[in-house]
């Protein structure tokens, strides 16, 4: 019976979570109970080793730096400047405001990779403007929620920084691998909005010309002033990682410094603002690292107790083909996204699934990007749907939960299309890492 003990760890952890126990404590309690049952008092030495490994991992130092970067960008006034720089080029298009919103989300995602900050800032800025021009409320909701959550799948991504060490993969390879699927998903969002507003103009009408519209040269000046500095920061952060000039942690430090520089450049730097950003960084990082600790202890006991071997044995008895196994894993991740947040999904399932996927002959980097796309879906699927809760916090009363849920459906379908394309053409993920490997 003791050989099957790890099998009961997941049900116990899920039960504790559904009873209201916080994720970190649920995993720690489960790890402690099963660790003592399987290893006895020796589990203490295993826990100490795991804690030391986590606290000394250089890659995780990037987490507070990326979080600080996102927090400072909230204070920099970058959102309204970005929207102005992008909107002046898209305003005449069908759904131009929504298209500008997604483009702004892409730039924000490539700047910080922090989901909540992007959606809150973008929502506060764009919702009143889109309502003023009569945009459909469901389209507004779906655009902001789906666009705001692009930070998961567009580098740099805090999620990838966490995933890399857990899957024993290079964070740089994961960032290379997510570039094409991430921009494919963003491109599908833009194409959907554009086509929808052509077919149904009432969803998002073109903005008519106005007497005070800027000239072409004025548009170029506005774009240069408002768009070039953030793009310079993106090039500094992503370029240093993708060209192999800096590790993710070093690049995050560059980004943190650049975000402070942007607040100074735009005249928005204040000491109270810096203090608030540091405090927010402390809170978010403490939450992430505490859950990481719980997940590390949980997976340590699960793997040490023979959980991976047990799962492999069960799958062998099911006699599944490699693709059926992959489909089952992705389906489990999709269902988990209804009830768990991203960090719980990563910590519970990634260390279990990665060895099985590798044994089945699949590329682990490719699987991790598929994993990321499923996490992206979890932001929009109720009842958890964190993107909806972020939007609810900043949306006016006339945008109801019904508008939000209906607005999610087309974008979830677009995420599924991205998943299907990545499944059919693994080169979307593997091509850039292979090119980077040849350049090194």
Q: How far apart are CA 138 and CA 70, in angstroms?
A: 27
- Report yes or no on 32 lying in a domain: no
Give this prediction's pTM: 0.85
Contact 194, 95 (CB under 8 A): yes
- Burial zone of 45 (CB within 10 Å; 0-12 exposed, 13-18 middle, 19+ buried): exposed
How far apart (Å, rounded) are the C-alpha atoms in residues 40 and 55? Answer: 24
Closest CA to 410 of 202, 119, 140: 140
52 located within any domain? no
Q: Are 110 and 72 in contact (CB under 8 A)?
A: no
Q: Identify whether the C-beta of residue 371 lies closer than 8 Å to the C-beta of residue 169.
A: no
**CA 364 remoteness from chain centre:** 19
Residue 40 lies in a domain: no
What does R_g of the chain's alpha carbons equal in angstroms?
A: 22
Residue 10 forms part of a structural domain:
no
**Number of domains making up the chain:** 1
Instruction: For residue 83, give the nearest of 96, 64, 70 by alpha carbon.
Output: 96
**The domain containing residue 235 runs over which residues?**
57-269+305-439
Provide the CA 50 distance to its chain's centre, in angstroms.
25
Residue 297 covered by a domain: no
Considering the domain boundaries, does residue 235 fall inside one? Answer: yes
134: left (phi over 0), alpha (psi -120 to 50) or beta: left
Asked if residue 169 is part of any domain, the answer here is yes
According to the model, what pLDDT value does residue 435 have?
78
Dihedral sign for Cα atoms in the order 169, 171, 175, 181: positive
128-135 CB contacts, 8 Å cutoff, 24+ apart: 128/396, 129/97, 130/97, 130/98, 130/101, 130/204, 131/396, 131/398, 133/97, 133/204, 133/205, 133/207, 134/202, 134/205, 135/95, 135/97, 135/98, 135/203, 135/204, 135/205
d(CA 379, CA 146): 8
What is the full per-residue pLDDT of the chain (440 aa) written as tens digits? 456 777 788 888 888 877 878 878 888 899 899 888 888 888 888 888 888 887 777 778 888 888 888 778 777 777 778 888 888 888 889 999 999 999 988 888 777 656 666 777 788 888 888 998 889 999 999 999 898 888 888 887 888 888 888 888 888 889 889 999 999 999 999 999 999 999 999 998 888 777 777 888 888 888 888 888 888 888 888 888 777 788 888 888 888 898 888 888 888 888 888 898 899 888 888 887 888 888 888 888 887 887 777 777 777 777 778 899 899 999 988 888 877 778 778 888 888 888 889 888 899 999 999 999 998 888 888 766 778 877 877 788 888 888 888 999 999 999 999 999 999 999 999 998 887 777 66
For tokens 């005070």, the residue is 212
């Amino acid at each position: 019976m003791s050989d099957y003990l790890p099998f009961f760890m997941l049900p116990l952890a899920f039960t504790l979570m559904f009873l209201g126990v916080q994720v970190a404590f649920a995993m720690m309690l489960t790890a402690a109970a099963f660790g003592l049952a399987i290893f006895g008092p020796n589990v203490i030495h295993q826990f100490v080793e795991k804690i030391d490994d986590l606290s000394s991992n250089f890659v995780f130092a990037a987490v507070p730096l990326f979080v600080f970067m996102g927090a400072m960008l909230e204070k920099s006034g970058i959102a309204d400047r970005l929207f102005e720089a992008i909107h002046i080029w898209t305003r005449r298009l069908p759904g131009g405001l929504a298209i500008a919103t997604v483009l702004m989300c892409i730039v924000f995602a490539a700047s910080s990779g922090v989901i909540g900050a992007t959606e809150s800032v973008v929502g506060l800025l764009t919702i009143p403007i889109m309502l003023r021009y009569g945009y459909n409320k469901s389209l507004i909701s779906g655009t902001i929620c789906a666009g705001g959550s692009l930070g998961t799948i567009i580098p740099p991504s805090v999620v990838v920084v966490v995933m890399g060490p857990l899957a024993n993969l290079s964070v740089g390879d994961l960032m290379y691998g997510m570039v094409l699927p991430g921009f494919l998903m963003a491109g599908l969002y833009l194409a959907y909005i554009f086509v929808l507003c052509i077919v149904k103009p009432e969803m998002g009408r073109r903005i008519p010309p106005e007497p005070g519209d800027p000239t072409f040269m004025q548009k170029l000046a506005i774009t240069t002033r408002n768009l070039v500095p953030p793009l310079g920061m993106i090039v500094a952060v992503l370029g240093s990682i993708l060209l192999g000039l800096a590790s993710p942690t070093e690049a995050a430090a560059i980004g943190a410094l650049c975000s402070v520089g942007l607040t100074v450049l735009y005249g928005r730097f204040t000491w109270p603002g810096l203090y608030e950003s540091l405090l927010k960084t402390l809170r978010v990082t403490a939450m992430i690292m505490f859950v990481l600790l719980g997940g590390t202890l949980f997976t340590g006991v699960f793997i040490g107790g023979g959980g991976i071997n047990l799962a492999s044995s069960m799958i062998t008895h099911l006699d599944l083909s490699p693709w059926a196994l992959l489909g089952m894993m992705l389906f489990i991740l999709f269902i988990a996204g209804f009830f768990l947040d991203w960090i719980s999904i990563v910590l519970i399932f990634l260390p279990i699934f990665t060895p099985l996927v590798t044994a089945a002959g699949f590329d682990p980097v490719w699987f991790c990007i598929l994993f990321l796309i499923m996490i992206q879906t979890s932001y929009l699927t109720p009842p958890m749907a964190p993107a909806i809760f972020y939007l609810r916090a900043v949306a006016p009363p006339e945008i109801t939960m019904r508008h939000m849920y209906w607005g999610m459906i087309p974008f979830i379908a677009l995420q599924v299309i991205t998943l299907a394309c990545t499944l059919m053409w693994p080169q979307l993920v593997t091509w850039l890492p292979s090119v980077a490997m040849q350049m090194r």
